[in-house]
Structure 1
Amino acid sequence: MRSIHAVIFDMDGLVFESERIAMRAFIRTAHHFGFQMNELMHLNLTGRVEEDCAAQMQRMYGQDKDVRAWRAYLREQKASIRKAQGGRVGKRPGLLALLSYLHERDIPFALASSSTRQTIDSYLESEYLLHEFTNIVDGSQVERGKPDPEIFLRAATLLGVEPEHALVLEDGLAGITAANAGGFVSGFVYDDLSFAGSVDTGFPILIDLMSVDDVRTTADVSFDTLNDVIGYLEKARSVRQ
């Protein structure tokens, strides 16, 4: 175990319940356009910038598929679902307790998200957390999105910490891969989206997908909830610098 001097948060599915919105929107989109969709597809796709998401979906379903149209419809559905929730996205279980712990222990933290700054601010405002995340790196600030580690390296520089002493908290394969590539301590926090079901008919997924267990073993450490991160950080405090 390495000593941890800072924490870097992903946003969607890690800080907020926004991936629950995304998964429901994906299921609607899959039904509308006729392609297969399941939780593992989402796990392997999440965390990427828009261009990378489109490119990955092209590999998943074939170069002849109009995934740009699929993603435009997906964005409409996400907006519709969020509107029906009064604009809220919801906080992930254990978030507030973890943020309180970080403040009490004077452990700096940052938000590193592939989303636009406008989306980030909108989510933070809707959940009354604008005051909490003052260190933010968004997708427009990097040339290469996850699984490249650039966004996390920028966040580490912002916090003044070496990657080897920063814990990156992620819920997706691309983010865990990026954290590992950058030399960070990668922490996988599983976001169970199985509630939304799946679409098992239509255009098939053409590539092999990593399972939840695969991602767990790829990460340095795995947590069931953000509450569990507190215990890990307490143990890391006793590690020599």
Structure 2
Amino acid sequence: MFDGVIFDMDGLMVDTEPVWMECWEPALAHFGYAVPPGLADAVRGSAGDTASRILHEMVSPQLDTRAFWDYFSSLAEKIFSQGVDKKPGLDELLAYLGERGVPCAVASSSSKKGIERNLRFIGDLDCFQAIVPSSEVAHAKPAPDIFLEAARRLGTKPPRTMVLEDSFNGVRAGATGGFFTVMVPDLAQPNDEIRSVASRVCSSLLEVRDLLAQGEMG
């Protein structure tokens, strides 16, 4: 069994990625731009300066990214305030880990307020011993900073810590940090690059629980 488990949030624990997808077109249109092909996939899982750099490269270097992210987030918040759906298998996996005393953390590109709101809504906030938003580390995913900080707070070492992710940038971050990194795909299926760096690809969080129980991971 692993010494600790670090969870991403959006697209892994809660079904929020479709909401973010829905916000791209009206948010960019508000600033006079169209959504270029591949933008959402390129940004997914990242945050801060990393995400803003991608916007400048793929949309326009003139885009005021601070104003854009504020507006983009305000659109999403209106939807999230109505609640979010829990991903299948989350309760079973958290129960399995909790029964065995395995500490868990959340490492997400969302704000701490957003993380806590979503986890409180689905009733799982108390299952986590640490919450690390990207704003609390120097570099966002695909840099490994957020996972390294989460492991530090849990008191675990990367090789003995499992990272659960749904995004390409998240998988890259976990692998770069030396973690046992499991991809549970949501909107994007793994390509050859991601399969080569991920420790495992599972179809759901329930499969993660089952493989742990069978001794095939950890």
- Structure number, greater radius of gyration: 1
1:151 maps onto 2:146 in alignment: yes
**Unaligned regions of 5+ residues in structure 1, if any?**
194-210
Change (3 A) 1:106 1:124: same
d(CA) in 2 for partners of 1:221 and 1:31? 38
Paired letter, 2:88:
P
Matches within 5 A, 1:89-128: 89-128=84-123
Query: Does 97-106 or 138-147 show the bigger shift?
Result: 138-147
* Alignment partner of 1:21 is 2:19: yes
2:53 aligned to which of 29, 49, 55:
55
Q: CA deviation at 1:130?
A: 2.2
**Distance in 1 between residues matched to 2:134 and 2:65, nearest whole Å:** 21
**Shift of residue 99, structure 1, vs aligned partner:** 0.6
Q: CA deviation at 1:217?
A: 3.6
State TM-score, norm by structure 2.
0.86
SS of the aligned residue for 1:144 comes to coil
Q: State how far apart, in whole Å, the 1-side matches of 2:145 and 2:203 are.
A: 26
Q: Which amino acid counterpart does residue 5 of structure 1 have in structure 2? A: D
Instruction: List per-residue Cα deviations over 1:101-139 (Å, max 9, x = no partner).
Output: 111232221111232222222222222222222322222
Map of 2:208 onto structure 1: 229
Sequence identity of aligned pairs in percent? 32
Is residue 4–residue 233 contact of structure 1 (8 Å, CA) maintained in 2? no
> Relative CO higher for 1 or 2, CA cutoff 8 Å, sep ≥ 6?
1
Q: 1:70 and 1:158, CA in 2 relative to 1: closer, same or farther beyond 3 A?
A: closer
Q: Is the 1:26–1:37 Cα contact (8 Å) retained in structure 2? A: no
Q: Which runs of 5+ in 2 are unaligned?
A: none
Deviations 1:176-235 (A, max 9, x none): 111111110111111127xxxxxxxxxxxxxxxxx7424344312111111111122234
Of 5, 8, 19, the residue aligned with 1:7 is 5
The TM-score normalised by the length of structure 1 is 0.79
Does residue 1:129 correspond to 2:124, yes or no? yes
In 2, the alpha carbon distance for the partners of 1:153 and 1:231 equals 26
1:12 partner amino acid = D
Distance (whole Å) between structure 2 residues aligned to residue 90 and residue 134 of structure 1:
22
Aligned to 1:204: none
Aligned amino acid, residue 129 of structure 1: D
Is contact 1:11–1:111 with CA below 8 Å preserved after alignment? yes
CA root-mean-square deviation: 2.4
Q: 1:71 aligns with which of 48, 69, 72?
A: 69
Which is worse superposed, 63-72 or 212-221? 63-72
Length, aligned pairs only: 216
